[in-house]
Amino acid sequence: MSLSVNLRGSDPVLILGGTAEARSLASELMAAGRNVVSSLAGRVRDPALPVGEVRVGGFSIGKLDGVTGLAAFLVDHQITAVVDATHPFAATISANAVAACARTGTPLLRLERPGWRTHPDADRWLWVDSIEQTVQAGAAYARPFLTTGRQSLAVFAEGWADKQVTTRVVDPPECTLPARWQLIRSRGPYAYADEHALMSKAGTDLLVTKDSGGTHTAAKLDAARDLGIQVLVIARPVAVGDATRVGTTTEALDLLEPWFE
Ligand code: NAP
């Protein structure tokens, strides 16, 4: 999206969401009198909903793949711009947004919260690139605290069946967990004292996390440091495409507002 772009002020901005930043942007744009449609994947049973219009579910419908379905949505709903505010690890929808926006000539802004690479302890952490590498890198640890979400649990359940894993997810897992594992169901944000108590009680020797960034789930990193627990971080997938990128809702608003006609 170039700085010479003019957005049609009355037509909706599509926010690809599922994050706190997406909800915050929807509120701010609506407060500024803009028309907004937010899109959620529909994975979480009881999602936090943004204000304004919300659609739920993937764009691949029938014979349409995700890119074609999203491109059709952009045209049918006269979307003036797309803000991809999805989670840093939601790589498929981000790639689909790049392709669908290129196909339809729709301006695309990527709102992605900064990661934890700049965290003061980041150089003490183990960094890996995939779930499979995580399983290998954690082989020597007995009591991991696994906070990488529900989708990857089956791989860990196979590779770490003999460990005393504590895992924390929002919705129930779709796979059977090993008998030795402890399952915690909750949704952040999490406070330092609670994270400290949780890992102390579980006897955690390895904290496993994605490089999600932000503050909602960052307290576990400080608690792990203070407890002398090794942290293992899965690095973000490499971004595709050349969308304009911003790190905060405020930056997104500052960029978008002058573009409206
Ligand atoms: P993904 O692998 O990139 O996407 C898989 C498929 O889900 C996409 O191809 C698309 O289906 C659909 N989809 C994803 N986000 C969508 C959205 N906002 N609106 C409509 N359809 C969407 O994504 P994921 O990692 O499964 O994450 C799913 C959603 O959860 C994302 O929106 C993300 O913001 C949120 N989330 C993800 C994580 C994480 O760790 N991955 C953490 C917190 C929140 P079609 O191809 O049919 O269009």
Is there a single domain that holds both residue 51 and residue 82?
yes
- Dist. CA 43 → ligand 1 center (Å): 8
**R_g (Cα) of the chain, nearest Å:** 20
| 56 in a structural domain | yes
Is there a single domain that holds both residue 255 and residue 219?
no
Question: Structure pTM?
Answer: 0.94
| 185 in a structural domain | yes
Identify which of 87, 101, 131 to mutate to test ligand 1's pocket (most ligand atoms within 8 A of the CB): 87
CB of 16 shorter than 6 A to ligand 1: yes
| 4 in a structural domain | no
- 243 neighbors 110 (Cβ within 8 angstroms): yes
Q: What is the pLDDT of residues 93-120, one digit of tens each?
A: 999 999 999 999 999 999 999 999 999 9
Q: What is the pLDDT of residue 3?
A: 43
Is there a single domain that holds both residue 229 and residue 245?
no
Nearest CA to ligand 1 atom 26: 90
Identify which of 86, 147, 171, 211 to mutate to test ligand 1's pocket (most ligand atoms within 8 A of the CB): 86
Is there a single domain that holds both residue 130 and residue 110?
no
Is there a single domain that holds both residue 104 and residue 184?
no
Is there a single domain that holds both residue 141 and residue 228?
yes
- 143 neighbors 165 (Cβ within 8 angstroms): yes
For residue 89, the domain's CATH number is: 3.40.50.720
Is there a single domain that holds both residue 155 and residue 82?
no
Give backbone dihedrals phi and psi of 137, rounded to 5 degrees, phi first. -65, -25
Place of tokens 């006269």: 78
Three-state helix/strand/coil letters over the chain = CCCCCCECCCCCEEEECCCHHHHHHHHHHHHCCCCEEEEECCCCCCCCCCCCEEEECCCCCCCCCHHHHHHHHHHHCCCCEEEECCCCCCHHHHHHHHHHHHHHCCCEEEECCCCCCCCCCHHHCEEECCHHHHHHHCCCCCCEEECCCCCCHHHHHHHCCCCCCEEEECCCCCCCCCCCCEEEECCCCCCHHHHHHHHHHHCCCEEEEECCCCCCCCHHHHHHHHHCCEEEEECCCCCCCCCEEECCHHHHHHHHHHHEC
Is there a single domain that holds both residue 157 and residue 201?
yes
- Dist. CA 118 → ligand 1 center (Å): 26
Interhelix angle 20-31/249-256, rounded to 10 degrees, is 40
For residue 183, the domain's CATH number is: 3.40.50.150
Q: Residue 242: what residue type?
A: D
Is there a single domain that holds both residue 22 and residue 85?
yes
Q: What is the pLDDT of residues 118-170, one digit of tens each?
A: 999 999 999 999 999 999 999 999 999 999 999 999 999 999 999 999 999 99
| 3 in a structural domain | no
Q: What atom in ligand 1 is closest to the CA of residue 93? A: 3
Is there a single domain that holds both residue 36 and residue 105?
yes
pLDDT < 70: residue spans in the chain = 1-5, 9, 261
Q: What is the pLDDT of residue 162?
A: 97
CA 16/CA 41 separation, integer angstroms: 9
Q: Residue 214: what residue type?
A: G
Residue range of the domain that includes 213: 122-234
- Dist. CA 58 → ligand 1 center (Å): 8
Question: How many distinct structural domains can be found in the chain?
Answer: 2
Is there a single domain that holds both residue 130 and residue 230?
yes
Q: What is the pLDDT of residue 5?
A: 66
Is there a single domain that holds both residue 194 and residue 252?
no
